[in-house]
Amino acid sequence: MRVRYAFLAWTIATLALAGCDNSMDKRLQGWVEADMVFVSPDEQGRVEVLKVNEGDRVRKGELLFTVDDDLQKAELEVRRTAVTNAQQAFDRAKELLKTAAGTQKTYDDAFATLQQAKANLDWAQTRLNRRSALSPADGTIQQIYYRPGETVQPGRPVVSLLPPGNLKIRFFAPETQLATVKFGDTVAVSCDACEAGLTAKVTFIARSSEYTPPVIYSLEERAKLVYMIEARPAQPEKFRVGQPVTVTLAEGVPKEAAK
């Protein structure tokens, strides 16, 4: 959080300096961020197998890790036995009803018990299946939080995954330039050691400012208002999370690059 505020202060200072140079009016400072996907177990357990390392590329549905499943397997057997018993009770009630030796209520009760037993079995099977965590999307493993032998709490991520489409460019525009930025605009993105011609499309424009000036606005204070903007890069594989970038607004992007 401190890094973000420090970067924001640097951004504001850079914008103020850039305001003195008309040639820099369309160039804004920003950085690369990402919406990580955190993969965690539904219930507490001990990590048994870890199939990935940081930096690995994975495909959707690929096994990431497993958590001990002894309790879930035992419960599954109990539920299977319950279904077997309920099925036998239902079959008897059905035969008795045919011969008028049984009642409709006995039959209905046996049927309801069988349906509940089957539902409990499905639930137990689902719990067992979820002890094996599969990748929810294509992406790259960014960080591993638990290793084999360590106990993880429910909802706590074991690994974080970055799908390529979750990468985004975040930058700030001063209040005086906000009207020139539109949702869906193409902006040029450059950085140290980046290849030329990289672009991104604006997907979010904040409705509130990141910096709050005094109640009485002067022209100088209004210039300090900055609004957060996010853009999704056309080639996310060309960027790295945390990388500082320079964004050129739509009016400064060559027509051939904006297509």
More confident of the two residues 123 and 238: 123
pLDDT of residue 29: 87
pTM greater than the 0.75 cutoff: no
Whole-Å CA distances, 5 to 8, 11, 32, 45, 211: 5, 10, 15, 37, 10
pLDDT of residue 20: 44
Q: Average pLDDT of 55-81?
A: 96
pLDDT of residue 193: 80
Q: Check pLDDT > 80 for residue 53.
A: yes
Q: What is the pLDDT of residues 6-37, one digit of tens each?
A: 445 445 445 444 444 444 557 888 899 999 99
Q: Check pLDDT > 60 for residue 254.
A: no
pLDDT of residue 220: 52
Q: Where are the domains of the chain?
A: 2-36+163-258, 70-129
pLDDT of residue 169: 93
Q: Check pLDDT > 80 for residue 215.
A: no
pLDDT of residue 140: 94
Q: 70-129 — its CATH code?
A: 1.10.287.470
Q: Check pLDDT > 60 for residue 152.
A: yes
Confidence of residue 192 (pLDDT cuts 50, 70, 90): confident
Structure tokens at 165: 């489409």
Confidence of residue 227 (pLDDT cuts 50, 70, 90): confident
pLDDT of residue 178: 81
More confident of the two residues 142 and 255: 142
More confident of the two residues 107 and 178: 107
Task: Name every residue whose Cβ is closer than 8 Å to that of residue 4 and which is 6 or more positions away in sequence.
Answer: none
Whole-Å CA distances, 152 to 61, 129, 146: 22, 17, 7
Q: Check pLDDT > 60 for residue 2.
A: no
Q: Check pLDDT > 50 for residue 255.
A: no
From 103-112, 138-147, 244-253, the region with the lowest mean pLDDT: 244-253
CB 204 within 8 A of CB 185: no
pLDDT of residue 218: 47
The fold of 2-36+163-258 is: Elongation Factor Tu (Ef-tu); domain 3 (2.40.30)
**Cα gap 245→229, rounded to integer Å:** 13
Angle of helix 70-98 relative to helix 104-129, nearest 10 degrees, comes to: 160
Q: Check pLDDT > 60 for residue 131.
A: yes
Residue % of the chain over a pLDDT of 70: 81
CB 239 within 8 A of CB 190: no
CB 247 within 8 A of CB 189: yes
Q: Average pLDDT of 153-179?
A: 90
User: In whole numbers, what is the pLDDT of the chain averaged over residues?
Assistant: 84
Give the residue carrying structure tokens 């970067």: 7
Structure tokens at 200: 């991104």
